[in-house]
Structure 1
Amino acid sequence: MGPQPPRTPLRRISTNSLFRLSRAEAYPDAPEDLGFMEPAISELSDEMDTLQAHIEGLRHLSETLSTFNEAFASYLYVMEMNGLTTDWPQMPTEASFEQEHKREATRAIAAREAARAKAAAAAAAEESRRAEKSAADATLLEGQTTIGGHTSSSLTSSKPVKKKVAKPKLSAKEKKERSMEIEKVVNCLPLEFRGSDPNLRRHIDLVIEGLLDAPGRGLKITDLVKPPDLNQARVNKCLIALVNRKIVSKENSTGTVLYHWQGI
């Protein structure tokens, strides 16, 4: 019999059987066979169950993240496609806003011109009426006769005839200056007086003109009333706006409310 081949030295646990190890003198009370490994195997099994639960939790988290990523990516894709394919031809642009501002300014200018034209027509009609009344008064005075050194008339009156002093006409330059002053005052008032309501703009122009025609003295509300268009309620509304802007001052020291023009 030939010599045996050399062998690699083994550790003690490998050189002896598990049976001899279990019956070693260091563990005289150890169970036979593999019984001494039961507690270690049980603990290992519990740890493996815990590891399996953690692995299942990680797998569920991964699936949840995958589902969220897919849904969110789809949402972003739909939003991008919607932005690329949807067109709004009627959406307002900067040019649209500029055109609207221009149209609004044109309407305001047209309203002011209409108000001025109407006010001028009303002033001309009033001037004509006053002229006709003055002519009628002159005709009535010419029809009087003198009898016995005393003056008599077919129509006698106990009250003297009071002639109204006609308002002096303004020159073209004065009209332009007054128009510019009125425009400057109106620009300081709320929006409703600046052309959004043509009737209210006409009323404020008439009130301002009445105050400008009486410099240095106060006017009552009734002095500015011009029926039937400009009644007392509308005059009061215009005066309230002017007083709030301190363009007109309000005085009631004499028991009668008077309004004085202050200007800007």
Structure 2
Amino acid sequence: MKLCVVIPVYNHGEAVGAVVNSVRAHGLPCLLVDDGSEPGCAKVLDTLAEADRSGIELVRLPKNEGKGGAMMAGFRAAKASGFSHALQIDADGQHDTRDIPRFVELAASAPEKIICGTPIYDESVPKGRLYGRYATHIWVWINTLSLAIRDSMCGFRVYPLTPTLALIDSVSIGRRMDFDVEVIVRLYWRGVGILNQPTQVRYPTDGISHFDVLWDNVRISRMHARLFFGMLLRLPLLLWRKVSA
């Protein structure tokens, strides 16, 4: 297993430096994806990459493509650089980088599986966002006929790159906040196993959230509908996997 950390960045100039420093303290190479950030944040990313050329690679997208678009670009860049796995973590500081060794250890023990963060929230989590997540969880459990994916929205994960790239190169997947949910459901459908890793989550240190309450919820609702009909098409296979497990 050869693993790097992929961080999608969109205007988190105040927080991303601390996240990158914490990642590098674990000795892991870091791939930053600048998702069309404004000039101030872009300069911060340039400075980070310039200061650590051997440990940080910067991929710059000419315009904002959304979290999913940034992650797909990061996966492709990681594979092109010879990595077999990518650890995804957010740029805003909400994920606890002290848990990185646990994710890496699990990935090394089961390199064919996704290591999926299961959030343990503190008081900073907005209650509306917290309750909204449970609606998505229920739909994911329906669309997989399984409770294997404990949390489908957490952006702290380790992906095996070969099956992940095979999926995103063959299927149209949401490019914004719907990405995390859709990609893990579709990978599960393809037989990629899931290991869940509990991890502390707090809400952004810089106070910036790019979740669009209206349009991201519309995208997520449409995604659930697509996945539901996809589940119906796969129903015999999913049922067979349940009875033969």
Q: TM-score range by the shorter chain?
A: under 0.3
Report the structure, 1 or 2, having the larger helix content. Answer: 1
Q: Report the TM-score when normalising by structure 2.
A: 0.25
Task: Give the alignment's TM-score, normalised by structure 1.
Answer: 0.23
Which structure would you say has the larger RCO, counting Cα contacts within 8 Å and 6 or more residues apart? 2
Higher relative strand content: 2
Higher-Rg member (1/2): 1
